[in-house]
């Protein structure tokens, strides 16, 4: 097995919040790190912060706007060209759109960024992850998935769209994707797990609808900070043997039961088929 200093980790959404502190934690573990962001200036500032606080000079950046599937494909090409091995992929990037918007490809923005982009990126990097075995994929989901349902006939343009329903459905999709992905993987080669990071005081809720945004700002002082919110991501990315968590939904480093809709593996397979068509796989 490779040592921490020989391992390569990729973290998406690494410029702020949980992603930034996940990157910092992995750099402190001694891993070689690629921090993925959208904005060049913010991504470089985040890289400098990680270098300064971790003492590691093995920190690189890569750029992609996850609202564009073409940009995700370019990101995958750059990562495959630049990294001979990929040991850890943390799919952390996500958003809550405050209004109904479409991605560059014409899909509802929250679903496109939070599900379709990591679905595509993971699949494009999967052979390299397998070749780097034992490797692992960590998907950041959320308890916000509870109570929501997916209608795959209108998943890219739901008729009953709200900021929170779009976010909840995207997080439900993250869990269904993780389970379907795990069923396709040999856990001895690549493990896949997803997690709820806790109620974390990041900026993500600042961009929800007006009522949800007001509630988020009231609650924020009582939530955990992003550094504490990375605990489960770092646990799954660094635990010596992650096979017990293969396909699992994890809260506080323990396997938890997601909503029944997230355990519907036939729905997960249908979502996989629809997602593969939407992203052109």
Angle subtended at Cα 230 by Cα 19 and Cα 89, rounded to the nearest 5 degrees: 55
- Range of the structural domain that residue 161 is part of: 4-279
- pLDDT number for residue 216: 37
Is the pLDDT at 220 greater than 70? The verdict is: no
Residue 20 sits in a domain of what CATH number? 3.40.50.720
Please say if 21 is a catalytic residue.
Answer: no
Is the pLDDT at 231 greater than 80? The verdict is: yes
What is d(CA 182, CA 161) in angstroms, rounded to the nearest whole number? 30
Number of structural domains in the chain: 1
The residue to which tokens 């609808």 are assigned: 209
pLDDT class of 229 with cuts at 50, 70, 90: confident
Q: Across the strands, what pairs with 90?
A: 11, 138
Taking only the tens place, the pLDDT of each residue in 177-201 is 999 999 999 999 999 999 999 654 4
Judge contact between 261 and 268, C-beta under 8 A: no
Q: What is the overall mean pLDDT for the chain?
A: 91
Mean pLDDT over residues 145-173, rounded?
A: 95
pLDDT class of 6 with cuts at 50, 70, 90: confident
Q: The pTM is what?
A: 0.90
Catalytic residue among 21, 107, 167, 249: 167
What is d(CA 129, CA 76) in angstroms, rounded to the nearest whole number? 12
């Amino acid at each position: 097995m490779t040592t921490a200093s020989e391992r390569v980790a990729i973290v998406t959404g690494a410029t702020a919040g949980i992603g930034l502190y996940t990157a910092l934690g992995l750099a402190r573990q001694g891993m070689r790190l690629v921090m993925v962001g959208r904005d060049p200036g913010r991504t470089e500032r985040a890289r400098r912060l990680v270098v300064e606080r971790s003492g590691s000079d093995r920190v690189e950046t890569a750029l992609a706007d996850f609202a564009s599937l073409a940009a995700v494909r370019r990101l995958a090409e750059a990562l495959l060209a630049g990294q001979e091995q990929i040991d850890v992929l943390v799919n952390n990037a996500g958003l809550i759109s405050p209004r109904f918007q479409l991605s560059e490809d014409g899909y509802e923005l929250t679903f496109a960024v939070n599900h379709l982009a990591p679905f595509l990126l993971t699949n494009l990097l999967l052979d390299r992850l397998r070749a780097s075995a034992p490797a692992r994929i960590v998907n950041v989901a959320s308890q916000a998935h509870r109570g929501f349902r997916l209608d795959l006939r209108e998943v890219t343009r739901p008729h009953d769209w709200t900021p929170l329903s779009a976010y909840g459905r995207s997080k439900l999709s993250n869990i269904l994707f993780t389970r379907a992905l795990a069923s396709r993987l040999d856990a001895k080669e690549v493990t896949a797990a997803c997690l709820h990071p806790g109620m974390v005081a990041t900026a993500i809720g600042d961009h929800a609808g007006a009522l949800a945004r007001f509630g988020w700002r009231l609650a924020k002082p009582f939530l955990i900070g992003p550094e504490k919110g990375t605990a489960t991501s770092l646990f799954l990315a660094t635990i010596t043997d992650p096979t017990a968590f293969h396909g699992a939904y994890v809260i506080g480093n323990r396997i938890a039961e997601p909503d029944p809709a997230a355990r519907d593996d036939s729905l997960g397979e249908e979502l996989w088929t629809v997602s593969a068509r939407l992203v052109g796989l």
